[in-house]
A = this chain, B = another copy of it.
Amino acid sequence: MAQKPSIPKGTRDFSPEQVFKRNYIFNIIKDSFERFGFQPIETPSFEKSETLMGKYGEEGDRLIFKILNSGDYFKDVRADIVDATIIHIAFIDLFETLIDKCNNNLKDYEGILDVKLNFFHLGEISEIESELLQDFFLGIKNDFITLFEENKDLSEEESKENIIKLRDNKFVSFFGIYMNEFDTLNSSKAIKKISEKALRYDLTVPFARYVVQHQNEIEFPFKRYQIQPVWRADRPQKGRFREFFQCDADVVGSKSLWQEVEFVQLYDTVFSNLGLNGVTIKINNRKILSGIAEVIGAKDKLIDFTVALDKLDKIGEEKVKEEMLGKGIPQEGINKLQPLFNLKGSFEEQIEELKSILSTSEEGVKGIEELEFIDKAINSLELKSAKLQLDVTLARGLNYYTGAIFEVSAPEGVSMGSIGGGGRYDDLTGIFGMKDVSGVGISFGLDRIYLVLEELGLFPKAAMKNTKVLFINFGDKEALFCLKAIKQLRESGIKAELYPDNAKMKKQMNYANKRKIPFVVLVGEEELNNDEFTLKNMATGEQEKLTLNSLISTVKK
């Protein structure tokens, strides 16, 4: 292999430094999850296709990575392909013969057509419903007879051209049938026959599957967290990957609003513990959005309405109004939205404003009550460093959420999309036949949090669990002496290593430098005889001779 090997588009290798930093984030998230009473589960990387397919919409289905069946995966497709191609060939053959035998004699043509049509009675395509095909070929026969009669007076050459035109014409509709009806060379239809497993696309659907499958072993309400990779065949682009970790915490089996309260606290706890102060936890409620749509007479256009409203930050008030108008929301309704565009002030002030806007919508009023409950509880419990903010334009994953909607944005001044999000979904497990199980959950965007911590310099040095002491290797006798000491250091919890080869001093020191190992120990003949160690501080260059005990206590500091 002449070329350097590489990895697939959209995937990443993680260097030791990156792994340490990622684990630093994971550990803080896990620790907080556990303090809040969430328990970890893990599910397989691939699920049965039927578990995943159809759960994420058409676009989602397309982005799911499918795994090829093992062994002779083509077995089932092969028979179908042969069948369908027999028909394909029959079609080509029919026109070949017609063109070939073109002597402007209708009787000849009819004879050929009848023989060819008979082909489909021979039982050779027994596995396919041939009715459709019979109709199609009979249609060709009729078209051909018409064509022939219309062109009676043409030369043989012209007649041939007409037949070719008819063929090319028919070929398009033939392929229409061929591709759609015969389940063969069509990628999306053949898939079921050559693949029955797929890599998970998110952690929510596998979680729902887990809950339904293990419902008899689970105590509800079930508070679970899950930190595992997911895979999406997205077009790779900056900051978007085909393999990435999701960190989810969800509760299923309770509709209590105290859970929403706790999730706000959980966000606050994790980001405070990461040293990322000043994040904004935006909250909204699906019922508020429904209520507004109801009030402005666009109840049936809830999706269009919220998709437009969601863009307020990006495109501004006027464009949002234009889009709504374009989607058929009446001007009169849009006028009623005006107070919404002017919504300002504290959580409580916005709530008061919403009360007057939504007074006529039962659902809207319910949404306001829920938001108020959460806000009051949080005010009383107090957040450490995050800010809770009402944002009525927040709509993410609307098809999905039925109550609270959360989204977290990085502290002001850091330009980054949302670093977390979540909400309540009233029928999580319904897709697997277990009805009326309400769920609510949040997730953390690891890759973006990593970038934010990096940008703000918030990774503590201690996150790098690098080797602390390198013992220089001056030969086997010294190396054995060093390994005895190293054993003691390691038992004291100090990360220590011996340079394995008796290489040039410079090379060994270079290794320590490049690896950013802060201490180096030198043991030559003198140290060996005196049972002592020369410790060099790589930052200051200072050296001192120490006993093993003082070496351990010095380095441990």
A498 contact from B72, B258, B493, Cβ within 8 A: B258
Minimum distance in angstroms from A163 CB to a CB of chain B: 17
Which residues does chain B contribute within 8 Å of A41, judged by CB atoms? 13-16, 19
Q: Does A246 contact B (CB under 8 A)?
A: no
A3, closest chain B residue (CB): B433
Chain A 88-101, CB-CB to B under 8 Å as 1, else 0, gives 11001100000000
Closest to A35 in B: B490
Q: Are A269 and B490 in contact, with the CB atoms below 8 A?
A: yes
| A321 within 8 Å of B (CB atoms) | no
Q: Which of A19-59 contact B (CB under 8 A)?
A: 19-20, 23, 34-37, 39-48, 51
Question: What bracket does the count of chain A residues touching chain B fall in?
Answer: 35 or more
> Which B residues touch A48, using CB under 8 A?
5-8
Q: Is A480 an interface residue (CB 8 A)?
A: yes
A164 at the A/B interface (Cβ < 8 Å)?
no
- Interface flags, A172-200, vs B, CB<8A=1, else 0: 00000000000001110011001111010
Contact B210 A1 (CB under 8 A): no
Say if the beta carbon of A141 comes within 8 Å of chain B: no
- A6 vs B50: C-alpha distance when bound (angstroms): 10
CB distance from A447 to the nearest CB of B (A): 13
Instruction: Determine whether A312 belongs to the interface, using a CB cutoff of 8 Å to chain B.
Output: no
Query: Could you say how many copies of this chain the assembly holds?
Result: 2
Question: Which residues from B are CB-within-8-Å of A470?
Answer: 37
Question: B261 touching A483 by the CB < 8 A rule?
Answer: yes
Contact B74 A258 (CB under 8 A): no
Q: How far is the CA of A556 from the CA of B83 in the complex (A)?
A: 72
Assess whether A480 is in contact with B377, with CB atoms less than 8 Å apart. yes
Cβ of A557: which chain B residues have Cβ within 8 Å of it? none
With a CB–CB cut-off of 8 A, which chain B residues contact A433?
1-2, 4
8 A Cβ contacts from A73-131 to B: 73-75, 77-78, 81-82, 85-86, 88-89, 92-93, 124
User: Which B residues are CB-close (under 8 A) to A74?
Assistant: 185-187, 190
Cβ of A506 within 8 Å of any chain B Cβ, yes or no, is no
Residues of chain B with a CB closer than 8 A to A196's CB:
8
Q: Is the CB of B497 within 8 A of A47?
A: no
Minimum C-beta distance from A416 to chain B (A)? 23
Q: Which listed residue, B78, B212, B259, touches A185 by the CB 8 Å rule? A: B78
Q: Are B231 and A45 in contact (CB under 8 A)?
A: yes
Closest chain B residue, CB of each to CB of A124:
B92
Tell me which of A12, A23, A258, A501 has the highest count of chain B C-beta atoms within 10 A of its own C-beta: A258
- The residue that A213 contacts in the complex, of B4, B231, B432, with Cβ under 8 A, is B4
| Interface residues as binary, A198-221 with B (CB distance below 8 Å gives 1, 0 otherwise) | 010000000001101110010101
Task: Determine the distance from Cα of A496 to Cα of B266 in the docked complex, in whole angstroms.
Answer: 13
A284 to chain B, nearest CB (A): 21
Nearest Cβ in chain B — how far from A97, in angstroms? 11
Q: Which residue of B lies closest to A241 (CB)?
A: B44
A66 touches B67 (CB 8 A): yes
CB-contact partner of A256 in B15, B501, B514, under 8 A: B501
Interface pairs (16), CB distance under 8 Å: A11-B44, A11-B45, A14-B42, A15-B214, A23-B40, A36-B490, A44-B243, A46-B65, A67-B68, A68-B191, A86-B89, A221-B499, A251-B500, A254-B500, A256-B500, A259-B500
For the complex of A and B, list the 9 residue pairs with the smallest distance between their C-beta atoms, beginning with the closest.
A37-B497, A11-B44, A16-B39, A256-B500, A85-B85, A70-B233, A19-B40, A14-B42, A89-B89
| Chain A interface residues (CB < 8 Å from chain B) | 1-2, 4-8, 11-16, 18-20, 23, 34-37, 39-48, 51, 62-63, 65-68, 70-75, 77-78, 81-82, 85-86, 88-89, 92-93, 124, 185-187, 190-191, 194-197, 199, 209-210, 212-214, 217, 219, 221, 223-224, 229, 231, 233, 243, 251, 254-256, 258-259, 261-262, 265, 269, 377, 380-381, 431-433, 465-467, 470, 473, 479-480, 483-484, 487, 490, 493-501, 511, 514-515
